Structure 1
Amino acid sequence: MEKALNPQDITDLFLKYINSGDLEKLVSLYEDGAVLAIGENNVAQGKEAITSFYAKLLASNPKFEKGVQRPPLINKDIALTSSRLINGTVTAEIARKQPDGTWKWLIDQPIIAVEK
Structure 2
Amino acid sequence: MAQAGDMTKATEPEDLARLFVELANAGDAKGLSELYEPDAVLAFPPGSQTVGRAAILAVFEQMLAQAPRFQVEEPMPTIRHGDLALTSTVPSDNTGGRVQVARRQPDGTWLRIIDRPEIRS
* Structure 1 residue aligned with 2:70: 64
Which sections of structure 1, spanning at least 5 residues, go unmatched? none
Deviates more, 1:37-46 or 1:20-29: 37-46
Q: Could you tell me whether the CA contact under 8 Å between 1:66 and 1:85 is conserved in 2?
A: no
* Structure 2 residue aligned with 1:92: 99
* Structure 1 residue aligned with 2:28: 22
- State the superposition RMSD in angstroms: 1.4
Query: Could you tell me how far 1:92 is from its partner in structure 2?
Result: 0.4
Which sections of structure 2, spanning at least 5 residues, go unmatched? 1-6
SS at match of 1:107: strand
| Identity over aligned pairs, percent | 39
Q: Could you tell me whether the CA contact under 8 Å between 1:7 and 1:95 is conserved in 2?
A: yes
> 1:1-116, aligned counterparts within 5 Å?
1-89=7-95, 90-113=97-120
Q: Distance in 2 between matches of 1:108 and 1:88?
A: 17
What amino acid sits opposite 1:3 in the alignment? K
Size of the aligned set, in residue pairs, is 114
Moved segments of 4+, more than 4 Å: none
TM-score using structure 2 length: 0.89
Q: Distance in 2 between matches of 1:61 and 1:33?
A: 26
